[in-house]
A and B are shown apart, each in its own frame.
Chain A
């Protein structure tokens, strides 16, 4: 445990160094980068050891004051999430050193670096806290630091609004969590997690508190704005890691508490399906690269929740196969999504930096101008869609197994089969969506001069992306290195043995690896063979066939709106998308709306404010009237007391 704390201290030190050396840009960047990398690497050591089967002693800080001992420890669940936090987190931090700062005051850049470093420390503490008070303190630190990071570009009113909505949402969640733990621990019990074990929490409070952080539908309303408005490396951290803390919380509650009730599992699974389908539909309707990616986070949280929900049902109905495989799928998808979503956000940042816009329909042709970003983004896209031979496929495969494995069991369990169909639909829609993004942004010809003049930002920005893309490939090609620990952690959460997953599932990753390797080898051979054949054929180079039209322009290319139009015509009603043509029918636009925030919460808030405004009539500044109020209240209280006495003390 001391190694772990040493690592965290190094990361924090990196933040302090960033402020101290802000005058020397290059030196600062190098030292901070090195320290952060070293800190993350050191802190990962105990996590890897725990996943390998060793145990690490917990650290107890007996602080004076309320709240009992502050216990920090690394159990398998913590270790799994530590990898999620520190691996992709490091990539975002390094990318931020290079990508963020141009055109911003020196002090603000340094402050942002400090905040980012402490945010990573806070995240690591959230997943290792083993008592209520340190957990909530770390949670709140994480939430507030994230707020400051989101509003790093606070000069724009949009950013401030997004930050405010985020702040309100996260505090609503914190209040729910305070209530959850207060009621769970009860008046007499201790406040370490060990004391909570086996007791029953208020499940809906856990879902509300952690769900707000995870951004599941309909609690996702704060997410797209916040993730789109933040600087890119912060978006990567928020979308890749911070929302996963909600997932961690749900996992922690499930692993601590007594057997969860069936309705909780069904609710989690149902919300997972809804989040998955609606998230990807909303993403499909977006024309802003970062907002689109943010909505995909909602979708992927949905996939994770499908696995988690199936796992919970497995625990409730005593079906260890579903429990272990479902939890393992959810955990692995959490890691995978952290990897490829960080990668995609960094790529989006790179694109936005190079072209000055995030609007899909103003881009195009970037593949030639930014080849490294293109390859990395392509890998991330294929991974998030769940295509072999990449990592997203492996975790979705596990979730499919869990959802399907329940079919043979009795009672109402077969309803999980709806999840299989939902997941298939989500996969198809995600493929369409990322084909749209990759094709419109990177392929074809540039649609604007800005896209025309784009160029790669440099190795400091590309390096983390390439590393993340490599991680996606590795976890897809040799999935057993991740599946086995995931099954072990899933078994630990489900209170079962990994063997419950069955020999077929446990042995499958090797076969998947074989399939992935042969696919890659065959693709390589095929490309070489095709090249050899082409060399022997006469090759002509012309402009694209335009069916006889001689003067094609870049504006004639298919746009993102048009590409998504047929799917939105089918499903747009679900997603709240308004499509319209101009009066002469020549141009086509679709306008996505944020259904929950704009159509539900804001009207409710306005109605509330209007209602309360009526009360303003009683406040008009005349002192004698206020005194009358006081007398009225006193009289009321007296009457109430008299009533109490009359009934013998019972109200």
Chain B
């Protein structure tokens, strides 16, 4: 870990909300609207942070704990991701399990917070969230298997570092599949079309949005920031696979990541403007397709 690791992590923490802004802007441009300014997510966060909050009399400490947990768990997970292609802040063998575990902890508290309100809408959102997260998990781990196989490493820093660049020489098809699979995972984890629609206004069709329906003010700001950070984290995974950072020094590696993430965010916007969200009963097919892609990557790798 060097000073640059910390600086680059800081850049990610600051820039994460901009990614959702880029995605939204791309979408509006492609649909012929001017759209909100790129910095709108920051304005939203500040505005919400300054507001007061409404709490349901039904709720307990769990409801107020979940927004904090959402940010802290996601932040802890970002400590494991090598944003600049060098070692992450924390690196150990099998840390990808911790990545999934930390994000799982955030989701667990969020589901509980939703059930804490006693609202059937939020129960519905929580149930859907839990269902789709269950299907994302195998896709994520299958992708990690491929990365572990092609790089021979068992930590995220090794899987997404210089080893990946070298692996493009002999395992390009598998890596390409993993990148696509991780992009699908990003769409699911970031609550984007075709899995979820961040702009929807009808509770019955929401997934993530309805699970946090009762949160307001600073709590909602925390949840939004946590979501943005998670989007940035999951965007960094396909970028880490695709952008061959090789032995670039840390600042350049981080620059590649920022550019790559912006492209990925724009791509999310393109997806959102070019297709409708899937019917809820069809979402599992999409998520299983992500697993299938990564699994094909594994088969190719084992066969080679």
Show the binding face of A for B, using Cβ within 8 Å: 364-365, 367-368, 382, 385-388, 393, 396-397, 400-401, 404-405, 407-408, 414, 417, 420-421, 423-425, 427-429, 431-432, 434-436, 438-440, 443-445, 502, 504-505, 507-508, 511-512, 514-515, 518-519, 522-523, 526-527, 529-530, 533-534, 537-547, 552, 554, 556-558, 562-567, 569-570
How far does the alpha carbon of A539 sit from the alpha carbon of B102 in the complex, in Å? 30
- Check A527/B135 contact, CB under 8 A, given A396-B97, A533-B218: no
- In the complex, chain B residues whose CB is within 8 Å of the CB of A423: 141
How far does the alpha carbon of A431 sit from the alpha carbon of B108 in the complex, in Å? 7
Count of chain B residues with a beta carbon within 8 Å of a chain A beta carbon: 86
- In the complex, chain B residues whose CB is within 8 Å of the CB of A428: 104, 133-138
Q: Pick from B68, B73, B100, B117: contact of A527, CB below 8 A.
A: B68
- In the complex, chain B residues whose CB is within 8 Å of the CB of A386: 101, 104
Q: Is the CB of B134 within 8 A of A567?
A: yes
Closest to A507 in B: B92
Q: Pick from B51, B118, B295: contact of A537, CB below 8 A.
A: B51
Closest to A387 in B: B105
Most buried by B among A368, A417, A440: A417
B217 sits at the interface (CB 8 A): yes
Q: Is the CB of B76 within 8 A of A522?
A: yes
Closest to B136 in A: A428
- In the complex, chain B residues whose CB is within 8 Å of the CB of A434: 108
- In the complex, chain B residues whose CB is within 8 Å of the CB of A417: 145, 298, 302
Q: Is the CB of A435 within 8 A of B75?
A: no
B163 sits at the interface (CB 8 A): no
Q: Pick from B52, B123, B155: contact of A558, CB below 8 A.
A: B123
Q: Is the CB of A540 within 8 A of B52?
A: yes
Q: Is the CB of B60 within 8 A of A542?
A: no
Contact with A along B55-98 (1 / 0, CB 8 A): 11111101011011101110110011000000000111111011
19 pairs, A vs B, C-beta closer than 8 Å:
A385-B108, A388-B102, A401-B154, A417-B302, A421-B142, A424-B140, A425-B134, A431-B108, A507-B92, A523-B69, A526-B69, A529-B68, A534-B218, A537-B51, A539-B52, A541-B56, A547-B121, A558-B115, A570-B131
Q: Is the CB of A424 within 8 A of B100?
A: yes
How far does the alpha carbon of A552 sit from the alpha carbon of B48 in the complex, in Å? 28
Q: Is the CB of B115 within 8 A of A526?
A: no
B196 sits at the interface (CB 8 A): no
- Check A537/B203 contact, CB under 8 A, given A368-B60, A439-B111: no
Q: Is the CB of B148 within 8 A of A515?
A: no
Most buried by A among B90, B138, B142, B284: B138
Cβ of B285 to closest chain A Cβ, rounded Å: 10
Q: Pick from B55, B98, B123, B218: contact of A393, CB below 8 A.
A: B98
- In the complex, chain A residues whose CB is within 8 Å of the CB of B68: 523, 526-527, 529-530
How far does the alpha carbon of A149 sit from the alpha carbon of B140 in the complex, in Å? 44
- Check A519/B76 contact, CB under 8 A, given A421-B141, A540-B53: yes
Contact with A along B109-132 (1 / 0, CB 8 A): 001101111111111101110110
Cβ of A534 to closest chain B Cβ, rounded Å: 7
B222 sits at the interface (CB 8 A): yes
- Which applies to chain A's interface (DSSP): helix, strand, loop or mixed? helix
How far does the alpha carbon of A95 sit from the alpha carbon of B95 in the complex, in Å? 37
Most buried by A among B53, B95, B141: B141
B214 sits at the interface (CB 8 A): yes
How far does the alpha carbon of A519 sit from the alpha carbon of B52 in the complex, in Å? 27
How far does the alpha carbon of A423 sit from the alpha carbon of B152 in the complex, in Å? 21
Q: Pick from B112, B140, B145, B214: contact of A435, CB below 8 A.
A: B112
- Check A435/B92 contact, CB under 8 A, given A541-B57, A558-B127, A566-B128: no
Q: Is the CB of A543 within 8 A of B57?
A: yes
Interface residues of B in 132-170 (CB under 8 A from A): 133-138, 140-142, 145, 148-149, 152, 154-155
B25 sits at the interface (CB 8 A): no
Show the binding face of B for A, using Cβ within 8 Å: 49, 51-60, 62, 64-65, 67-69, 71-73, 75-76, 79-80, 90-95, 97-98, 100-102, 104-105, 107-108, 111-112, 114-124, 126-128, 130-131, 133-138, 140-142, 145, 148-149, 152, 154-155, 203, 213-214, 217-219, 222, 280-281, 284, 291, 295, 298, 302
How far does the alpha carbon of A393 sit from the alpha carbon of B114 in the complex, in Å? 24
Q: Is the CB of A443 within 8 A of B302?
A: no
Most buried by A among B59, B95, B120, B134: B134
Cβ of B171 to closest chain A Cβ, rounded Å: 13
Q: Pick from A515, A522, A539: contact of B90, CB below 8 A.
A: A515
Closest to A531 in B: B64
How far does the alpha carbon of A443 sit from the alpha carbon of B213 in the complex, in Å? 16
- In the complex, chain B residues whose CB is within 8 Å of the CB of A431: 104, 107-108, 130, 133-134
- In the complex, chain A residues whose CB is within 8 Å of the CB of B142: 420-421, 424
How far does the alpha carbon of A386 sit from the alpha carbon of B98 in the complex, in Å? 10
- In the complex, chain A residues whose CB is within 8 Å of the CB of B115: 435, 438-440, 443-444, 558, 563
How far does the alpha carbon of A454 sit from the alpha carbon of B57 in the complex, in Å? 19
Q: Is the CB of A526 within 8 A of B72?
A: yes
Cβ of B128 to closest chain A Cβ, rounded Å: 6
- In the complex, chain A residues whose CB is within 8 Å of the CB of B93: 401, 502, 504-505, 508
Q: Is the CB of B118 within 8 A of A444?
A: yes
Cβ of B155 to closest chain A Cβ, rounded Å: 8
- In the complex, chain A residues whose CB is within 8 Å of the CB of B60: 367-368, 443
How far does the alpha carbon of A325 sit from the alpha carbon of B111 in the complex, in Å? 33
- In the complex, chain B residues whose CB is within 8 Å of the CB of A569: 281
- In the complex, chain A residues whose CB is within 8 Å of the CB of B137: 424-425, 427-428
- In the complex, chain A residues whose CB is within 8 Å of the CB of B97: 393, 396-397, 400
Q: Is the CB of B127 within 8 A of A565?
A: yes
- In the complex, chain B residues whose CB is within 8 Å of the CB of A397: 94, 97-98
Closest to A438 in B: B112
Closest to B71 in A: A526
Q: Is the CB of A530 within 8 A of B218?
A: yes
Q: Is the CB of B134 within 8 A of A387?
A: no
Q: Is the CB of A540 within 8 A of B108?
A: no
Closest 8 A/B residue pairs (Cβ): A558-B123, A439-B115, A428-B134, A538-B52, A444-B118, A424-B141, A428-B137, A504-B93
Q: Pick from A367, A432, A518, A533: contact of B62, CB below 8 A.
A: A367
- Check A566/B58 contact, CB under 8 A, given A407-B149, A444-B118, A526-B71: no
- In the complex, chain A residues whose CB is within 8 Å of the CB of B94: 397, 400-401, 404, 505, 508
Q: Is the CB of A539 within 8 A of B141?
A: no
Cβ of A550 to closest chain B Cβ, rounded Å: 14
Closest to B73 in A: A519
Q: Is the CB of A527 within 8 A of B127?
A: no
How far does the alpha carbon of A409 sit from the alpha carbon of B149 in the complex, in Å? 10
How far does the alpha carbon of A427 sit from the alpha carbon of B97 in the complex, in Å? 11
- In the complex, chain A residues whose CB is within 8 Å of the CB of B134: 425, 428-429, 431-432, 567
Q: Pick from A387, A540, A546: contact of B54, CB below 8 A.
A: A540
- Check A566/B90 contact, CB under 8 A, given A367-B60, A420-B141, A444-B115: no
Q: Is the CB of B100 within 8 A of A567?
A: no
How far does the alpha carbon of A393 sit from the alpha carbon of B134 in the complex, in Å? 17
